[in-house]
Amino acid sequence: MLDIKYELTTSPKQKPAADDPLVFGTIFTDHMFMMNYETGKGWHDARIVPYQPIVLEPSAMVFHYGQEMFEGLKAYRGPKEEVLLFRPDKNIERANNTNRRLCIPEIPEEDFLQALKAIVKTDADWIPEKPGTSLYIRPFIIATDPFLGVRPSDRYLFIIILSPVGPYYASGLKPVKIWIEDEYVRAIRGGIGEAKTGGNYVASLKSQVKAHDEGYSQVLWLDGVERKYIEEVGAMNIFFKINGTVVTPMLTGSILPGVTRNSVIQLCKEWGVPVEERRISVDEVYEAAMNGTLEECFGSGTAAVISPVGELRFEEHRFEINGGKIGELSQKLYDTVTGIQLGKIQGPEGWSVRVDE
């Protein structure tokens, strides 16, 4: 159990107006959670302080070798004004998997959950109410040793910041156009592709800029070895509905194990929709698009929720999916996942966690 000290702001910020579009990741709340780590001392000094710049030495290891991890989850206001988190245990479990891979000290699960609940409770007034909005939670850990040698740091900072957000894509639920990348790769098996860390995202920027320039929102990655099998989008996992069966790439070590991905698979199983986690090649997707069996395609992610894909481009081929419109299953998944997140639909045991319990 953490002993969290509170230093609350004396000058609260102006909250966004009800009709503010809440462009993803641009607005931050009044407070943040912080906790330090030092070898021999462990995690200590848990505190909630006003949101503010942090001071680090230019030699802090995070700036040089990228030893950092992050997570993303959301808080929602339920029908009885209660504040709900969606499957925080899954994010905490993944956070510690990332920590182990990056030689960052783990955070005890109950302490992580306590910190999440405490900061969200403190700034609960910032949870936006408009449909399609939520309070995005960004926990992260950085290595702070002032040292230029390559080794795991002995000191870390764990921070949680909060941001009221609208849809991740400016187009909202309108299907996005995705570019299947055949030049660069994001990750390879044995690397850090399944860890949630900045390195995977910086690796994606070059392709993302290229795709944006061509009018595409995101890049869909192929495996780094054969450059043949579909992996993920970076900001989301990917699903195809082919001839009535939902197919998503199996987790091979280079794909981020998304919490929403896991939820989609569970919901499909519950509804009796056939779902397969397996290797799926870009040729198979192209063929299905050509012979009319590719019925739907959508991405899943915390930020992206369920994002329908209306067009894929691979090399010189462009193919529209479901007439560029959201499919029936994608819509049902979006409605169900957001319904559970908002406490309007009863989800499976443990999916909705109140911050005051």
Residue closer to ligand COI, measured from CB, 49 or 173: 173
Residue nearest to ligand COI (CB): 72
C-beta neighbour count of 109 within 10 angstroms = 14
C-beta neighbour count of 80 within 10 angstroms = 7
Q: Alpha helix locations (H) across 22-156? A: 62-65, 88-101, 109-122
State in angstroms the smallest separation of the CB of 348 from ligand COI.
20
**3-state SS of 221-264?**
CECCCCCCEECCCCCCEEEEEECCEEEEECCCCCCCCCHHHHHH
Residue closer to ligand COI, measured from CB, 128 or 301: 301
Q: What is the Cα–Cα distance from 355 to 262, expressed in whole angstroms?
A: 22
State in angstroms the smallest separation of the CB of 276 from ligand COI.
23
Angle at 317 between CA 313 and CA 321, to 5 degrees: 60
Note the residues at the interface with ligand COI (CB under 6 A).
72, 235, 301-303
Q: Give the pairing of strands 83-86 and 134-143.
A: unpaired
State in angstroms the smallest separation of the CB of 357 from ligand COI.
24
Instruction: Using the CB atoms, write b or e for 203-240: b if 16+ within 10 Å.
Output: bbeebbeebeeeebbbbbbbbbeeeebbbbbbbbbbbb
State in angstroms the smallest separation of the CB of 198 from ligand COI.
10
Residue closer to ligand COI, measured from CB, 2 or 75: 75
CA distance to 52, 62, 224, 236, per residue, from 136 (Å): 18, 23, 31, 15
Q: How far is CA 143 from the centre of its chain?
A: 21
State in angstroms the smallest separation of the CB of 107 from ligand COI.
18
State in angstroms the smallest separation of the CB of 74 from ligand COI.
8
CA distance to 86, 180, 342, 343, per residue, from 349 (Å): 11, 37, 15, 13
| Tokens of residue 17, six digits | 């107006």
Residue closer to ligand COI, measured from CB, 197 or 322: 197
Residue closer to ligand COI, measured from CB, 260 or 336: 260
Among 21, 334, 329, 18, smallest CA distance to 167 is for 21
Q: What is the Cα–Cα distance from 294 to 296, expressed in whole angstroms?
A: 6
State in angstroms the smallest separation of the CB of 218 from ligand COI.
10
State in angstroms the smallest separation of the CB of 302 from ligand COI.
3
